[in-house]
Amino acid sequence: MMDNLARTMERKMESWGLDPSSNGKPEPIQCKKCGKDKPIAEIKHPITGKKRWVHCACPCEIERLENEKEEQKQKVKRNKIEKMLKISSEMKNIQSLTFDSFEGRKGTERTKNAVMGAVNNFKDRQQKGLFIFGETGNGKSHLTAAGGNELIKQGYAVIFITEQDLFKRLDATKNFKNEESFHEIMNACIEADLMIWDDFLSSQTLNKDERNYIFQIVNGRERANKPIWFTSNVTEREFSSDGIQYKLDDKGRTWWRIIGNSDCVLNTASNHRKAKAMAQALGISIDEYENRNY
Ligand SMILES: Nc1ncnc2c1ncn2[C@@H]1O[C@H](COP(=O)(O)OP(=O)(O)OP(=O)(O)O)[C@@H](O)[C@H]1O
Ligand SMILES: [Mg+2]
Ligand SMILES: [Zn+2]
């Protein structure tokens, strides 16, 4: 009697497409994408403790979703890089400024090492930036741009901007017809993974607004743990003078924040623009000209 009932039950289950020997384990479903059987797992209800079988997402589907997420992340990253480059100063040949195209001239070694070190340890250095100063034309912008290019290749968003340009663009936002708002530029300057501040202190005197811009960016980036690489024509003498700290504010707050967050390097190389022009004028190579002068 019992046997009969069990057999009837089994037949009934089979007719419903269920396998009676499997404790309710369902037939696999094929994935519509790859055609393979989707995995089946037995899970426990979190409250009742009752176990039941479920069809899981196919691994191909999970992979697709993960790829989509990664793509989305890359897209956000690329957009950020684009945004920063749009705010950057016009530098037609910025891509040609690489470490490879930089000749190892006397006096540039420490600058080159500092920039390369800052690139290689970019993440670990956090808000630790660079302050590269020295004579005009001796490779400060070239080297920092080379480092910035390297980081852009690695997916970092880099703003490369001259001080003059930065002030001009921020001032232009006072005109209500301007398409860029003050906050757009300011936020970009604070959000960029790296800001390269070219020609720092190039203005002889700073007005109240300009001092304010500098403080906001320096302070904002310090709080966000993000570095600034400065290049500047300040001389060794100016750099070590007492007066320099008061150029930015009357308490020296901004200057000491900058210095505290920077590895400072004096680039002692001579003016490459001059060497190039002189070599050309004399009909000799730059190397020959330089060897003659050392
Ligand atoms: N060691 C070098 N090898 C090759 N090119 C160089 C080197 N140093 C400088 N140059 C080139 O000389 C020009 C001036 O260099 P750069 O703009 O880097 O100078 P700078 O130190 O930033 O000058 P400034 O203080 O006036 O801004 C650029 O075209 C740069 O590519
Ligand atoms: Mg420069
Ligand atoms: Zn699949």
Q: Which of 116, 142, 231 to mutate to test the pocket of ligand 1 (most atoms within 8 A of CB)?
A: 142
From the list 274, 265, 277, 275, the residue with the least C-alpha distance to 107 is 265
3-class SS string, 104-145: CCCCCHHHHHHHHHHHHCHHHHCCCEEEEEECCCCCHHHHHH
For the segment 268-284, what is each residue's pLDDT rounded down to a tens digit?
A: 999 999 999 999 999 99
Ligand closest in space to the Cα of 132: 1
Residue with the smallest CA separation from ligand 1 atom 31 is 142
User: Which atom of ligand 1 is nearest to 108's Cα?
Assistant: 1
**pLDDT at residue 6 in the model:** 61
3-class DSSP state of 44? strand
Residues 235-262 have pLDDT tens digits of 999 999 999 999 999 999 999 999 999 9
How confident is the model at residue 86, as a pLDDT?
83
Q: Give the pLDDT confidence score for residue 16 in this predicted structure.
A: 57
Report how far ligand 2's centroid is from the alpha carbon of 269 (Å): 13
Residue 1 is predicted with a pLDDT of 55
Percentage of the chain with pLDDT > 70? 91
For residue 93, pLDDT beyond 60: yes
Counting atoms of ligand 1 from 1, which one is nearest the CA of 102?
A: 3
pLDDT higher than threshold 90 for residue 2 = no
Q: What confidence score (pLDDT) does residue 48 get?
A: 87
Q: What is the model's pLDDT at position 15? A: 64
Least confident of 14-23, 120-129, 152-161, 206-215: 14-23
CA-CA-CA-CA torsion for 204, 207, 209, 215, nearest 10 degrees? 60
> 290 with 275: CB under 8 angstroms?
yes
> Residue range 57-73: average pLDDT?
95
* 177-192 pLDDT tens trace: 777 889 989 999 999 9
Question: What's the one-letter identity of residue 198?
Answer: D
What confidence category does residue 20 fall into, taking pLDDT thresholds of 50, 70 and 90? Answer: very low
Torsional sign, CA 205, 209, 210, 211: positive
Distance CA 244, CA 246 (A): 5
Going along the chain from its start, the domains and CATH numbers come out as 2-56 (no CATH), 84-292 (3.40.50.300)
Is the pTM of the predicted complex or chain greater than 0.75?
yes
Cβ atoms of residues 72 and 124 within 8 Å: no
